[in-house]
Structure 1
Amino acid sequence: MPLIALDNGDTLNCDHVVKFTTLHDGRYQFGMTDGSMHCGHVDNPEEAFFPLVPAAPGFRTIVTDVVDGERTWEVHAVVAWRICPSGNFAISEGMRIDDSYAALIEPDGSVIDFNGYQYDNFDEYRLSIVQEDTALLRAA
């Protein structure tokens, strides 16, 4: 049961939304199955209507960031996939549904990053990122 939380405090069950439109002031108007209308600001409401399907075991996401000059790495198990018109996106344990990730580890251990580059394993991917970081620091 996906929910849409509007800025005015209303929470809508997507199963009861018949239609939604964008108003001139940037708010969205939602028509409900009971005939009521709800208006409010929300980011990307259409995403709440994209289906989620359970993930097969073995897929993991890689989240990386630079904090205080040091690169950090996190690996999270994929628990579901969001099926979107632009492709399928992993939903990982311990992360919000709209959090992003840098790469995906497949069950065989290979890695695919968001640019579509493939690596044999996590260590090869990590080395590639460290080399990019080093090159950027030298150029600066």
Structure 2
Amino acid sequence: MIEPLTNILQVSLPELLSGEQIINTNRSANILKSNLYVCPICGNIFHSTGPAMISCCGVTLPALEAEQADEEHEIKCEKIEDEFFISIQHPMTKEHYISFVAYCTGERFESVKLYPESSIEVRFFSRGHGTLYWYCNHHGLFKKRI
């Protein structure tokens, strides 16, 4: 039996086809340096704690670059007892909506998937300082330290 070339070279098929080897030098995987990916075709959401080669629907996905929110994407975060109550005044139509909200701390990454025509109200148990991420399907990824 012939062994596949990917096994011999110890690389994945996408790495072999692209000619770029993914080497994660951060073996401890710092969750605060997480990468987020969203498929532009089907909307799948991917999270990695280090460099990764992610593909979906036949497309290799780049890691998203988070921006500071503009007026249209401003997030409201209130601490109510042991929870953060998150809300955003943003359209939630089938064409333009917030796809997810995530809360990342030093030990956890939590996300809530949102859907068109729903409200944007999310609660996260307060686990200390961290970063909120939210993704607009038209304008990309935004972040805010809390």
If the length of structure 2 is used for normalisation, what is the TM-score? Answer: 0.29
The structure whose residues are more often helix, as a share, is 1
If the length of structure 1 is used for normalisation, what is the TM-score? Answer: 0.30
Q: Which has the larger radius of gyration?
A: 1
The structure whose residues are more often strand, as a share, is 1
Determine which structure has greater relative contact order: mean sequence separation of CA pairs < 8 Å that are 6+ residues apart, divided by chain length: 2
